[in-house]
Every structure is written in structure tokens, then in C-alpha cells.
Amino acid sequence: MRNTMRKLAAALAAGALIFSAGAFAKDGHIKVGVITGPEFQIAETVKQIAKEKYSLEVELVPFTEYVPVNVALESKELDANAIQHYPYLAEQSKDRGWTDLVVVGNTFVYPMAAYSHKIKSLEEVKDGMTVAIPSDKTNEGRALLLLQAKGLITLKNPKDLNSSVLDIVENPKNLNIKTIDGNLIPRALSQLDFAVINNTFAGQGGLTIEKDGIFVEDADSPYVNIIVARKDNAEDPDVKNFVKAYNDEQTYEAAKKLFGEVVKGWK
């Protein structure tokens, strides 16, 4: 009886080791969260490259808002996501107490721009106009830095990525600056003189820089978008191959076709 029990225990232990090893083995499939719109189209290109070059099946999971994507990754419903820049991840992790989300690669700097249905250029911005900017902290700061770069406002700390409207010290054109949820701004654009919108929500709203843009971030923007995984799978071969596929030259060419030469590459 004792020998039988020892053999059973040994078999169970061996099975546990096999299961444990298999849990971290490369299985050729990865679930990635992506925001709908132009970036999802780019991810479709990444999916094709991953299949052709790395035999990796990429399951793209669409979202319309940012926060749920990180929640799904943190809870292990996703293996990775490609939706955000580093300042946003840092702020969300701080606010929500996340410690497991880590950056595993870069994608591109997708330009934030000002859009309008009423004016065509920066020179047409007049005294007292109403402008909307995103209300979340990191994109509010990013939008204010863009307004400052174009000479419309001055901030207390000109380099602070987390500036708010309360940090505006000069507003020579007396702009009426409203903070609105980023995903709502495109729908409100007809009621505004202009608005600063990130590329994801601009794309979802059918806006393009060529048709509706009045000014855009410079190429030296610090807001490079990132690929995020968790500490427990950051070294997984599937995650690494997904990053390689996103960093492929074909992906960069696809991004330029959608966003133009204003897209700053991963190189």
C-alpha cells in the first residue's frame, strides 16, 4: 500500500511539473486588446505578419475605451495590448494600484491634432473661441502642450506632461477651454470652434488630419505608443514575436498609409 501511494504521489508530482512547464510553453496563440478605428486596421497588418513570419495566431480583441483594456490585461483575460502611451499607463497604474503591467515594446507616435468643421488653419483661431480637450489627466496635459506649442497658451511649467487647465498662466486669445471625455469630443465638434483629439477617437469619428485638421503635434512628441504585457508573461515567446511583428517595416508602411508621414516610426 505504501509503495502504491508513493508511486501515485510521484506520478502526481511529475504531472504537476509537466503542467507547470506547459503553462509557460509557447503555444502559438496570443490575445491582444486593441482600440477600434485606424489602430485596429494597423493591428490587422500585424496579425498577418505574425502569422506569415512567426507562425503566431493573433486574436485581436476590439475595445472602444482605454481603461477596460488594461483591466482585461491585468485580470489575464488578455495576453497583451497595444492601445496607449507610457504617460497614460503610468498614471493609470498609479491611480489603480497596478504593479504587474509592463512595457514590452514600442509602436509609433500617433499624432494628436486639432480638428474643426469651422476653421481651416491655426491662423483662423480668433479671440474667445471655444475649444475642447480630453478630460483624462494624461491626454489633457498632452493637449495643453500642443496648444502651448502653437502659441495659444502658456503653462506654469512648460514641460509638465500632467498640466491641467488650472496651470494656464497666459491665454492671450481668451480661449474658452472645455475638458470633455475624449470619446465624446468628435460628436461635439460641430458645436465647438475646434477641439484637440487623439488619433484613436478622431479616427472613430471619421476625422482625418488632411480633411479636418488645423494643426498637429511635431515629430518630436514624447508620446510613443507602447505594447504592454504583464510581469508573468513579458518573456513569453509569443509576446516577443508579436512585438517583432509590430516593429516590422510593413507595419510602419501601413501606419503611414493611414496617418501620413506625421507618424513617427519605432526606429
Better-scored residue on pLDDT, 12 or 80: 80
First to last CA, the chain: 65
- What are 169's three cell numbers? 498662466
- Indicate if the pLDDT at residue 20 is higher than 70: no
Domains of the chain: 28-110+223-259 (3.40.190.10), 113-216 (3.40.190.10)
CA dist., res. 210 & res. 202, Å (int): 12
Predicted TM-score (pTM) of this structure: 0.74
- Could you report the per-residue pLDDT of 116-135, keeping only the tens digit for each? 999 999 999 999 999 999 99
CA dihedral of 52, 260, 117, 34, whole degrees rounded to 10: 30
Q: 59 near 29, Cβ under 8 Å? A: yes
Distance (Å, whole) CA 267 – CA 262:
14
Helix, strand or coil, per DSSP, at residue 220: coil
Phi-psi region of 235 (alpha: psi -120 to 50; beta: other; left: phi over 0): alpha
228-256 mean pLDDT: 96
Q: How far apart are CA 85 and CA 169, in angstroms?
A: 27
Confidence at residue 16, expressed as pLDDT on a 0 to 100 scale = 38
In the structure grid, which three cell numbers stand for residue 232, read together? 508573468
Q: Residue 128, exposed/middle/buried by CB under 10 A (0-12, 13-18, 19+)?
A: exposed
User: What is the SS3 assignment for 205?
Assistant: coil
Q: Mean pLDDT, the chain, as a whole number?
A: 88
Q: What is the pLDDT of residue 12?
A: 38
Residue 156 vs residue 224, higher pLDDT: 156
User: How large is the average pLDDT for residues 72-96?
Assistant: 94
In the chain, alpha helices (H): 2-23, 38-54, 67-74, 86-96, 137-149, 185-188, 199-204, 209-212, 237-246, 249-259
193-222, pLDDT tens digit by residue? Answer: 999 998 888 988 889 888 899 999 876 677
**Contact predicate 239/30, CB 8 Å:** yes
Confidence (pLDDT) at 203: 83
225-230 and 154-155 as β-strands: parallel, antiparallel, unpaired?
unpaired
Q: Which of 70-74, 89-93, 194-198, 258-262 has the lowest mean pLDDT?
A: 258-262
User: What is the amino acid identity at position 265?
Assistant: G
Query: Three-state DSSP class for 267?
Result: coil
Question: Side chain identity at 186, as an amino acid letter?
Answer: P
